Amino acid sequence: MIATDAEPAAAAAPTACVPSRRNLSLAQLRSFSEDGFVVLRNVIPPHLIAGMRSAFSRAGSRMLTQLRAEGMIPGVGMDQPFESGIAAAGDAMKRFGRSWRQEIAGPELYDLHRAPLLVDAMESLLPHGVCAHPIYNARPKLPNHALTTVPWHQDSAYFGAHTAQKSIITAWLPLVPVDAANGCLQVALGSHRYGLMPHHTESGEGQFLEITGGDPRPDVVVTIEMMPGDALVFGNLLWHRSLPNRSDHVRWSVDLRFHSQGDRDVNGYQREWIVRSPTRRESSCEEWLAQEFPAR
């Protein structure tokens, strides 16, 4: 069962100072509880998608300029469009890693964490206050690059065994249409109920953690095709992976993570990044960046 349509929650008549909110419906909450994930459609507004694409474009253009200056990409001309330039740069892009995290940290990413309908959904799952987790990813998945092909894993394998009993919720957000051809995500239905599994470092180029003991049964694997504006929401114990990008274009995505206010042992920041709280003010962009880049 995959619930995808948001339903307005019953609420008192709105006032001038209290914005209306859209909680997850009962069907969506059931999907998250029983299946381990829920797909939310059209929860990220276009201007936030455009902002993130601009942030990627600026970062990628800086990288291409550096590679050209070093003579690493002689076949990529200055007049080549940014996205095709990134794809044409191929293996030369590997030096910048599998996730452009700090390269795109800025106001656009801050605003994306605060997308109202997304935070409404998080508030349904984290009712005591929503905090942003310091581990987010900004992935350019280049065509036919093993570096960003992620094997089956659970996020708690990265966070530590102590987080298996906690709620760290991922929102995986595509910036372009995604399907099996260009490397969308797959999830294993109900796999969050298995507990934290043993993991090992894969032998592939990305050196990701991988669940030890084999793949899930084919009948529980769900391929999640999505459009920009959609969000795949799942917890830290759900089995998931990304497929290879077999297309001729870059697949762009961002994954954000959230946890409950007060869960300090799952938070890597010195001070919590408050996104929405019934008791505390929201953290400013400047406060977040001061923690993200403490040496600045």
CATH assignment, 26-292: 2.60.120.620
As given in the structure block, the two tokens for residue 153 are 């894993």
**Percentage of residues of the chain with pLDDT beyond 90:** 62
Residue 13 pLDDT > 60: no
Residue 206 pLDDT > 50: yes
Task: Return the pLDDT at 139.
Answer: 85
Average pLDDT over residues 253-273: 88
- In this predicted model, what pLDDT tens digit does every residue of 42-81 receive, in sequence order? 999 999 999 999 998 888 888 888 888 888 877 776 666 6
Residue 294 pLDDT > 90: no
Task: Return the pLDDT at 157.
Answer: 96
As given in the structure block, the two tokens for residue 98 are 């599998």
- In this predicted model, what pLDDT tens digit does every residue of 78-109 receive, in sequence order? 666 667 777 777 777 877 777 788 888 999 99
What is the pTM for the complete model shown? 0.87
* DSSP-derived secondary structure for 50-71: HHHHHHHHHHHHHHHHHHHHTT
Closest C-alpha among 171, 173, 180 to residue 243? 180
Between CA 47 and CA 228 the distance in angstroms is 11
Q: How many CB atoms lie within 10 A of CB 91?
A: 11
* DSSP-derived secondary structure for 116-175: HHHHHHHHHH-TT-EEE-S--EEEEE-TT-GGG---SB-THHHH-GGGTTS-EEEEEEES
- In this predicted model, what pLDDT tens digit does every residue of 267-292 receive, in sequence order? 767 789 999 999 999 999 999 999 88
Q: Which residues contact 33 (CB under 8 A, 6 or more apart)?
A: none
Task: Return the pLDDT at 16.
Answer: 40
The one-letter code for the residue type at 198 is: P
Q: Cα angle vertex 168, ends 206, 242, to 5°? A: 30
Residue 293 pLDDT > 50: yes
Average pLDDT over residues 27-55: 97
Residue 169 pLDDT > 50: yes
Task: Return the pLDDT at 1.
Answer: 45
Task: Return the pLDDT at 142.
Answer: 86
